[in-house]
A and B are shown apart, each in its own frame.
Chain A
Amino acid sequence: MSIHDPQAPPEVRRDAATESQTDLSTEIRARHRAYRDGRAGGGVPEETGPVRDFAPYRSSLLRHPTKDLRHADPETVELLAPVFGERDIGPLEADLTAAHGGEPIGERIVVAGRVVDGAGRPVRGQLVEVWQANAGGRYVHKRDQHPAPIDPHFTGVGRTLTDDDGWYRFTTIKPGPYPWKNHVNAWRPAHIHFSLFGTDFTQRTVTQMYFPGDPLFALDPIYQSIRDPRARDRLVAVYDHSLTSHEWSTGYRWDIVLSGTSRTWSEPEDGDE
């Protein structure tokens, strides 16, 4: 359902067509202030992920659970993860610039990093999936009507397996920012979607990697649905010259920690053995 869907209820449709970035930024700031004040007062635990109820992201209004998550001890199946192998993916799938009949337009980059669990142990041989817009900010998706060009040499889909030390590596094109319909003149910062499996099912994660210094960060309700600034920083890759290749591509490093479902962080208690 879109905010422009005539079937959408008023609380979703609202004045989406006229809401400005200023309106949205004010809402975002208020929610961040509440978290900051709560942290300063000592009563609010550190958040390590997004809040589910984040109204500035309008699509969340009718889609976020209103009841608290219920604690359950993980069962055997949840303490294990699906297993993927070399036979599940093709050898070229980690290079998004290949196999489409020519060189895609844009800034060729390498994105690489390590996937580890909450104890810092490498997540080995596990599936990593990515998808993204092209250099012009256009997705190969029929519902993306942004009037930017399709690149006939780029689909923006890749897959790979982590190696024995948890490393993944993709070659791709730096995606462009793109407009969306959350409010008037809404733009997403450039990002690459990542889908990740850990060593157990509770670590299953889908997220987005961003590029350093993006001027759209402060304006984006999706990125800002993570209220903790340090947690937001963890989604931003770093430029890494050691991943940059002479006369070929620039490199970005982004490491990933998969440590289960707990959204809030509490310092481990001292004194336990």
Chain B
Amino acid sequence: MSDGTPRLRPTPGQTVGPFFGFALPYDRGHELVDPGTPGAVRLHGRVLDGAGRPVPDALLEIWHADPSGVVVRRTGAMLRDGTFTGWGRAATDREGGFWFRTLEPGPTPSASGPRRPAMIAVAVFARGLTDRLFTRAYLPDDGDPERAAALARDPFLAGLEPERRATLLAAREPDGSLRFDVRLQGEGETVFLDLGQGTPGHAPPEAADDLAHGVVRGVAAGPPPDPLDLPDPGGAVLSGVPSPPSRGVPPRA
């Protein structure tokens, strides 16, 4: 079904490269909630390459609902002033490790039928990845029959081979934390997603031609949209170089 609007060809992605460490990570970007917040959980893991070796220059972003299953629409993710925004960003360390402190999302309501199993949307960027990848970290059932049933009846998960499905399930560690490893290639390769929405409108050829020249001309404003290289945040910036403006992206000394 088409809504009659033009479907423009997207701007291609490119690798995040080796040098994002001084630009994208920011102070407490990986801490969606303060320490000691009731219900806070640590989500952690490693990013590994096709030889099973750590990827020390990857960047992960997470985006998820709050514990009641509601996707909050709040600013302040860059400030980390105590507002839970549901979004976070973490660079991997020398061992390919990352961690977030956040709240466990609840199952989200769906338009029809039962609630969807609780999950955390994940975007993965790295030097060597020509474009970003999407995946999901589903929360384990923790022995709860209702959550187990939600996972079991999910059509997407049900369509995956068991060993591949397992790559999308975060594991509950003995200390209560959630473990989610990302394997970019090879044995145990994580399932990455094509989230193509498949409801395109029509693309007038002239619109596409304009885009080929890098400029969108005459695109009517529509209705408002609905709702090498160790990026070590502590050491990525050379000494003697001035800090960005206040609230700028990090150099943390």
A267 at the interface (CB under 8 A from B): yes
Chain A residues within 8 Å of B, Cβ to Cβ: 1-2, 7, 9, 48-52, 54, 57, 59-67, 69-78, 80-90, 92-93, 98-101, 113-114, 116-124, 129-131, 139-144, 150, 152-153, 155-157, 159, 165, 181, 193, 195, 199, 201-202, 204-208, 222-223, 225-226, 230-238, 253-263, 265, 267-268, 270, 272-273
Q: Which B residues lie within 8 Å of A71 (CB)?
A: 193-196
| Interface-centre pick from A66, A77, A232 (highest chain B CB count, 10 A) | A77
| 18 sampled A-B residue pairs with Cβ under 8 A | A9-B51, A60-B130, A78-B63, A86-B75, A87-B79, A88-B77, A93-B245, A113-B215, A114-B216, A119-B3, A121-B5, A201-B121, A208-B15, A222-B15, A233-B214, A234-B11, A235-B14, A255-B214
Q: B200 and A195: CB pair below 8 A?
A: no
Q: Which residue from chain A places its CB closest to the CB of B190 in the assembled complex?
A: A65
- Partner of B246 from A74, A76, A90, A205 at Cβ < 8 Å: A90
Number of interface residues of B (CB under 8 A): 117
Q: Which B residues lie within 8 Å of A140 (CB)?
A: 22, 237-238, 241
B27 at the interface (CB under 8 A from A): no
Q: B130 and A119: CB pair below 8 A?
A: no
- A117 CA to B227 CA in the complex, in Å? 13
Q: Which A residues lie within 8 Å of B203 (CB)?
A: 267-268
How far is the CB of A212 from the nearest CB of chain B, in Å? Answer: 8
- A75 CA to B240 CA in the complex, in Å? 46
Q: Per-residue 0/1 for B55-84: is the Cβ within 8 Å of any A Cβ (1 yes, 0 no)?
A: 110000101110000010111111100000
Q: Which A residues lie within 8 Å of B136 (CB)?
A: 72
Q: Which B residues lie within 8 Å of A98 (CB)?
A: 245
B248 at the interface (CB under 8 A from A): yes
Q: Given A141-B22, A144-B19, A273-B1, check contact A238 B214 (CB 8 Å).
A: yes
